[in-house]
Amino acid sequence: MLNPSLRPLSEGNTDEAHEFATEVLQGLSRPSKTLPCRFLYDARGSELFEKITRLPEYYPTRAETSILKAHAEEMAADVPDGGVLVEFGSGSSLKTELLLERLPRLRAYVPVDVSQSALADASQRLAARFPWLDVRPIVADFAYPVALPAHLAWRHRTGFFPGSTIGNLMPVQASRLLHVFRKVLSTGGRLIVGIDLKKDPGKLVRAYDDTAGVTATFNLNLLARINRELGGNFDLRAFKHRAVYNAREGRIEMHLVSLKDQSVRIRGRRIPFRAGESVHTENSYKYSVAQFQDLARSANWLPSRVWTDPCGLFSVHKLISA
């Protein structure tokens, strides 16, 4: 059963276009240029991310899926009949199926994502596969509390946040996000969250700079999106994808490096780039189990269970709202 979104599926609407233009121009006007990583996910970006998840070098999706396959029963154990599953940054919702298979008496599934196309495809697929389930997609930035449909307001909520998407935020923002999720999920709510673990930097860099160049295309698509949606004139051949492990910060960084002195026009503004200058497009923080549990506590979540894969690549945590 697929219900319409709370607000119109809005990729490309004027508010979002305005926000995109403002944040792009602000980010590219800074002394160290940046672009917010949530803008990587237009329809093309979501498609490219799905390709990334199938790359031999990109271990997180396989590792997390193996953990979910092995432990979905335990993860689903304290989701009450009639409860609601709220997924943040749901994308293709493929991993969700592993939980939903164990939750035949769940009342509703509420996927939240900025990518309208990913949300629409996933919601249709899930509504067909689980016809008894009330599927209520919401196009929104998960950094702000989302309101659930009124008829679900009083029901028990379990949050699902797989993929280590929280790693794309700086730790301070990640703690703030976990506070927001407590508001959405209410006291007594549960959160099942996937966290990529610290490991050999070489393996990390290969995962974010694959030999087939899919991650490079994903990163460069941000410039292509600026050209498409903001009338920019980036020459994609004049920028190169770079992935580095920043050991001090404990994160992989993605950058787009200008291959020459050049300038680009966006919405009538001229943005200069020096040869070698980079635009920082994404962070992907890697945590130890203890570090992530401390982060969860900082936002009043109590760590309850943690599962890892046999190679110790990835972890899935169950947290309880204090």
Residues that bind ligand SAH (CB under 6 A): 38, 41, 46, 49, 53, 61, 89-91, 95, 112-115, 118, 141-143, 162-163, 165
Please select the residue that binds ligand AVI; options are 167, 171, 189, 232, rule is CB under 6 A: 167
Is 281 a binder of ligand AVI (CB under 6 A)?
A: no
CA distance 194 to 319: 11
Q: How far apart are CB 168 and ligand AVI at their closest, in Å?
A: 5
* # binding residues, ligand AVI (CB under 6 A): 11
Q: What is the number of alpha carbons within 13 Å of residue 225 lying toward its C-beta?
A: 25
Q: How far apart are CB 234 and ligand SAH at their closest, in Å?
A: 21
Q: How far apart are CB 114 and ligand AVI at their closest, in Å?
A: 12
Is 163 a binder of ligand AVI (CB under 6 A)?
A: yes
Token pair in block for residue 309: 């894969």
**Among candidate residues 286, 288, 290, 310, the one with its CA nearest the CA of residue 66:** 310
Closest to ligand AVI by CB, 60 vs 189, is 60
> Of ligand AVI, ligand SAH, none, which one sits near residue 114, judging by CB under 5 to 8 A according to partner kind?
ligand SAH
**Among candidate residues 135, 83, 81, 80, the one with its CA nearest the CA of residue 113:** 135
> Of ligand AVI, ligand SAH, none, which one sits near residue 284, judging by CB under 5 to 8 A according to partner kind?
ligand AVI
Q: How far apart are CB 185 and ligand AVI at their closest, in Å?
A: 20
* Residues 179-218 as x/- pattern, contact with ligand AVI by CB under 6 A: -----------------------------x------x---
Is 284 a binder of ligand AVI (CB under 6 A)?
A: yes
Token pair in block for residue 83: 């409860």
Please select the residue that binds ligand AVI; options are 96, 115, 123, 165, rule is CB under 6 A: 165
| Helices within the chain (DSSP H only) | 14-29, 43-53, 59-76, 96-100, 116-129, 171-185, 201-208, 214-230, 289-298
Is 90 a binder of ligand AVI (CB under 6 A)?
A: no
CA distance 229 to 12: 8
Q: How far apart are CB 113 and ligand AVI at their closest, in Å?
A: 11
Q: Which residue has the tokens 């051949």?
A: 237
CA-to-CA dists, residue 135 to 49, 127, 178, 191, angstroms: 23, 6, 24, 19
Task: Answer whether 88's CB lies under 8 Å from 112's CB.
Answer: yes
> Of ligand SAH, ligand AVI, none, which one sits near residue 208, judging by CB under 5 to 8 A according to partner kind?
ligand AVI
Closest to ligand AVI by CB, 3 vs 291, is 291
Residue 239 identity: F
Q: What angle do CA 257, 260, 263 make, to 5 degrees?
A: 90
Please count the other Cβ atoms lying within 10 Å of the Cβ belonging to residue 163.
23
CA distance 243 to 142: 26
**Among candidate residues 134, 147, 180, the one with its CA nearest the CA of residue 7:** 147
Q: How far apart are CB 152 and ligand SAH at their closest, in Å?
A: 19
Using the contact rule CB under 6 A, the part of the chain among 4-12, 140-148, 158-166, 306-314 near ligand AVI is: 158-166
Q: How far apart are CB 208 and ligand AVI at their closest, in Å?
A: 5
Is 164 a binder of ligand AVI (CB under 6 A)?
A: yes
**Interface residues toward ligand AVI, by CB under 6 A:** 52, 60, 163-165, 167-168, 208, 215, 282, 284
